[in-house]
Structure 1
């Protein structure tokens, strides 16, 4: 049985895209035990994330997508901990806007599994909010880390470059709503929800897209 647990902190900063900027609060999720952790998204405040890690070994910094408010602290966290930064290659175009001189260390691909503290995080490619957006599913913990793909109340935003509403709804319908209803959804911003709480609203989202 896994001893892995989920830890949470919030960081604040600015999201920039398409010439606009917005003040945002971002969730950072740590998954692991007293010895090792993975960091799910590294936004805004590298020092706070490193402090939350403590002296533990960081297996990887996992980027749910390449928007600056999810990756801007990733190189500093990686450099401080020796961890690799992993990103789906379809989001390099977004990553490079923030870090043109620093490539990710490896790719996240659909079906990949990252193991930490006896728990497996399974990569689900869920494009729509961004072309390389991924969610990370930990079956043993009954937890999904959804980035900006699924929130309490619906899909992530698709009004900006490299995003598409029908694609995000299809990703949620085919990849996420197939998960057990009791799965806790830990999001990139705001409060957590469950698959069961969001599933009944699928038709509303589909209707909104027409």
Structure 2
């Protein structure tokens, strides 16, 4: 498990922290060992948590005594929501998932309710706005979270350093993720930092030139 402050001195004292947890991603009868990035966005008094992977303890430790305004799930594959209900209960906070992923949510947490993320929805933290963009493809309800003032995008599993998220599984579609990336992400400023759901980050401008290569490569 790792916890690091990845950015500081952003707009209005905004701070971004990353927690990395490890566990199993399960879908379509397969299992894969994965490391997940959990993002904590806020200041010294309040934060949002983006994704809730594998183990609650390191996330709780990173949050400390700060108020959590909500847990925002980039999508509902099990590795991104493993401890979402546990965190919501322990932190006395709201839990948000896009309804397009309700079938995936129910595979992991069939008895747990959540609030819905909506395309265009906006949250506020530390005087800074978080904008929700639905980017289907990796899953129907996949979302990215854009923080324009900070020049940051939290991309979940829609875009990685090196290309789109995987689409060879249930409820995923390669042409759809390409459209989402082309129309919703690559239209952002080139210097936008992309904080991903797994692995190292990137920038919009570093990925944009490779779009045609991804299309030629296919799923």
Spell out, residue by residue over 1:45-91, the C-alpha distance to the aligned partner (whole angstroms, 9 max, x if none).
11111111000000000000000000011011110111111011000
Which residue number corresponds to residue 5 of structure 2?
A: none
Q: Is the 1:152–1:193 contact (alpha carbons within 8 Å) kept by the matching residues of 2? A: yes
Q: Verify: 1:138 aligned to 2:156, yes or no.
A: no
8 Å Cα contact 1:2/1:140 also seen in 2: no
Corresponding residue for 2:62? 52
| Aligned residue pair count | 209
Aligned to 2:101: 91
* Residue equivalent to 1:188: 197
Q: Deviations over 1:2-61 (max 9, x none)?
A: 211111110000000000100000000000000000000000011111111000000000
Secondary structure of 1:90's counterpart equals helix
The yes-or-no answer on 1:16 pairing with 2:26 is yes
Quick one: distance in 1 between partners of 2:93 and 2:139?
Answer: 24
The within-5 A match list for 1:103-118 is: 103-104=113-114, 106-118=115-127
SS at match of 1:44: coil
Say whether residues 1:178 and 2:180 are aligned partners: no
Q: Deviations over 1:153-197 (max 9, x none)?
A: 000000000000000010000000000000000000000000000
Structure 2: distance between partners of 1:142 and 1:160: 31
Runs of 5+ in structure 1 lacking a partner? none
1:185–1:192 CA contact under 8 A, matched in 2 = yes
Counterpart in the other structure of 1:122: 131
TM-score (norm 1): 0.98
SS at match of 2:12: coil
SS of alignment partner, residue 24 of structure 2: strand
Query: Equivalent residue of 1:130, what SS?
Result: coil
- If the length of structure 2 is used for normalisation, what is the TM-score? 0.94
Q: 1:160 aligns with which of 165, 169, 176?
A: 169
